[in-house]
Amino acid sequence: MSDKSNARFVSHFSKKEIVYYRRLEFGARAGIAESYASDFNFNDLPLFPVIHMAGDPDEGLVVDIDGDSMEPQLRSGMKVLVEELPNADYWKDARPGVYIVIFKHHFVIKRIKHNTLRSTGKVLLESDNPEGGVEEVIIDDIHGMWRVIRGVDVPIR
């Protein structure tokens, strides 16, 4: 390749830099929303290889994005690495950012701009896409929450 090319290549990486996380695909999301509190087993999910980066969790989950509620930042077809916030104490301290939340029988990816779970017991889950809307959720309806760490597979349109 000539020196005038704008292509840049990453050096080869060792197998130690690859981490395998469980992957939650589009079709599995309805099942997790229905059965998360009782019998959902993450060990049944397939593995997905991710190049390890500083700040990645030891245990995480790769989730497929489906829909346009978080466009333009997150588009349908992307995969994101998420880290579980294991219980209500962690949910109450969630800082602003993008989260996956299971509440009632819904599985959504939304933005938390101001977390008021500790003071009011409620939180607004907002879409980046204005057409995606805002949902107010009470803490008693939340079954699970994961913080989006970063994109791990970003298809080009």
DSSP-assigned letter for residue 17:
G
Return the percentage of the chain with pLDDT > 90, whole number.
57
Task: Give kind and range of the element (H or E) at residue 117.
Answer: helix 117-120
- Per-residue pLDDT of 42-94, as tens digits, reads 788 899 999 999 999 999 999 998 888 888 888 888 999 999 999 999 999 99
Per domain, the residue ranges of the chain are 17-153
What rounded mean pLDDT belongs to the chain?
Answer: 85
Amino acid at 84: E
For the full predicted model, state whether its pTM sits above 0.85.
no
Sheet holding 134-138, edge to edge: 47-51, 18-24, 61-64, 79-85, 142-153, 97-103, 106-112, 122-126, 134-138
Q: Find the range with the poorest average confidence among 20-24, 29-33, 58-62, 112-116.
A: 29-33
Superfamily of domain 17-153: Umud Fragment, subunit A (2.10.109.10)
